[in-house]
Amino acid sequence: MYQLGRAFELMSVNQRFRKYFRGLCVRGHARDYWKDAYTAVLEEYIRPYTWSRIQEHRNNYRRYKSMYKEHLHRPTDTELKLDLQLLEDTLDVTSVLTAREQAKMEIAEEEPSMVRKVPTRKTWSFWSWFSSTGDETDGSSRESPVEGEEAEEELLIVGDRDRSWWSRMTAEERRRLFEGIGYERWGPGPEAELNHIGHKLNFTLANCTLSLINGDREILVATVTHFLSSLETRPGAKAYKVSARTESVVIEGASLENDLVPIITA
């Protein structure tokens, strides 16, 4: 059992530091192994506490919190979800959860109408039952709250599913409803009609690579990463909007030594 526990412990340590080792054979590469170990210690224990890393982490944290607040307002925005996933790769789990809870608390202060407080119910696990005293044999005494103890509450952002049918209707649907029942006092202004989006189509391409091959050799390779495009139609203004963006575009060409060399990078 001790050897099994030791093996799992070494596996967890190896999983953390594996990315710093180049996978070379131990025999004849002792110098390289010591260099990789030095790099691992430097990257895990020293450089994360430098001012540049701390400042970068704080900027990513603030950006993620701001974008998550926008996500709570627009939960169906595909481009915003992809941007959140990219930022989550730069943060640890604790920072992501803390940023989300802080964003919910800020929304609760700025827009109380969007937030509901839901009481959380205590769940009894095996450990809580085992650690309880012998006096708590009655099941009813476990469920009753202790006098003077406040019940825990969880902040729940009200989304489209939890809102009423009236709040889920768009301005155009409300205008049609009032026209149908003969109520002409209320109606959206001309600016709202011009800015009304009839349809929105999103196209996402995570990664795409095109290769031009001559025989068994690649002579030209084009790579596009995280390509996003959208098409919006505005019936009131009789116009449409097309937008596109990409994270990176790399075009590589073969040199005289048949090695791929970057030609265009954007």
118, 104 Cβ separation under 8 angstroms = no
242, 229 Cβ separation under 8 angstroms = yes
Please give the Cα distance from 54 to 60 (Å, whole number): 10
Give the pLDDT score at 138: 47
The pLDDT tens digits of the residues spanning 175-233 come to: 787 777 766 554 455 555 667 777 888 888 888 888 888 877 888 888 888 888 898 88
Whether pLDDT at 161 is above 50: no
Q: What is the mean pLDDT of residues 123-128?
A: 53
Whether pLDDT at 134 is above 60: no
**Measured on CA atoms in the order 163, 165, 167, 171, is the torsion positive or negative?**
positive
Q: What is the mean pLDDT of the chain?
A: 78
Q: How confident is the model at residue 59 (pLDDT cuts 50, 70, 90)?
A: very high
Distance between terminal CA atoms of the chain? 54
Alpha-carbon distance values, 198 to 15, 52, 70, 119, 204 (Å): 49, 45, 21, 39, 20
Please give the Cα distance from 80 to 59 (Å, whole number): 18
The pLDDT tens digits of the residues spanning 15-33 come to: 888 888 888 887 888 888 8
Tell me how many degrees the CA angle 63-247-47 measures, rounded to the nearest 5. 55
